Amino acid sequence: MEVKYLENLLTNSQKTYELFKKGNVLNSSTLKEMFTPKYIYKGDTPNTVLVKSLKTNKPVKVFWKDKGKQHGEQRLYDYWFYDKNNQYIGEKSFCIESFPVPPGAEKEMIAGYMSSDANDMYIGLGVREEELQVKKALENDINIIPRSALGPATLYHIKMGYLPKTDDLLEVQSENEVNFHMNGIRRKSPDIREKNFTPIITKEGDKYYIDVNLTQAVANVKEIKDRLAEGETKKEIGNLDMEGIPMSLSGKEFEYWKNLIINSN
């Protein structure tokens, strides 16, 4: 085993991932702005929230309807959003599953779907969709929200506090094995340039592993940020061929959202 090489790679990986988190996780000006007093709806109309109009840069009302249903022990929440003209502008869906046996067993949230079809009109709709899901989690004593993130949406989800799951590990013992596995990871994301791939290594006991999801997340975000800097639109980035990532909102990132919601009431 090439211990010195792997230890150096491990040290560099830890630095890379810490910088990645510091620069991106919950680093969203839109998220912060949507929880300022200006954007907290205090009116009497039910199912109403405020987002930002790109036309006026001022708060505007949007409305939602829950079209979900109960299916046995599983409750589907399916929020459809509309603007003042009753035009559909986005959707957020997810499930909560109850486990009646044994009595009082915990509930679990199941990842769903989200869309925002009015990014050229409003800012903050995604935040409002996230807010509804976190509120439902809090109401049901759930503190982990799973997410299956599309590759081109990785930066958005990271900024909302979602982090990659760390359960996909490839054991490595040499530089050749690292290169072999990295080639396999790169082939799944042909639109990511090679310079943006960095192996993120973890260690368990005396064994070393490539963490596939962390490696993919860092590569996705680097590529997305590069292309934004080069002038590509969000729509163009949305068409990139890059691998998706299983993620979750939990721990201190979940607490951050919890505090935002509590302090806005």
Q: Tell me, yes or no, whether 194 and 263 share the same domain.
A: no
Confidence band of 100 (pLDDT split at 50, 70, 90): low
- Same domain for 189 and 104: no
* pTM, to two decimals: 0.93
Please report, as a single letter, which amino acid is at residue 63: F
Is-contact 225 240, C-beta < 8 A?
A: no
Q: Is residue 160 part of a domain?
A: no
Give Cβ neighbours of residue 62 (< 8 Å, ≥ 6 apart). Answer: 48, 49, 50, 51, 81, 82, 83, 84, 89, 122, 125, 128
- Average pLDDT over the chain reads 94
- The verdict on 14 and 41 lying in the same domain is no
Residue 191, domain member (yes or no): yes
pLDDT digits (tens, 9 = 90+) for 172-214: 999 999 999 999 999 999 999 999 999 999 999 999 999 999 9
Same-domain check for residues 140 and 254:
yes
Same domain, 129 and 200: no
Q: Is the pLDDT of residue 72 over 90?
A: no
- Counted domains in the chain: 2
Strands (E), 7-107: 48-53, 59-66, 70-71, 74-82, 88-97
pLDDT tens for each residue of 103-139: 666 889 998 889 888 878 899 999 999 999 999 999 9
Ranges assigned E (strand) in the chain = 48-53, 59-66, 70-71, 74-82, 88-97, 108-116, 122-123, 145-149, 163-164, 169-172, 201-204, 207-211, 245-249
- 58 and 179 co-located in one domain: no
Structural domain range at position 188: 1-24+167-243
Given a cut of 80, is residue 77 above it in pLDDT? Answer: yes
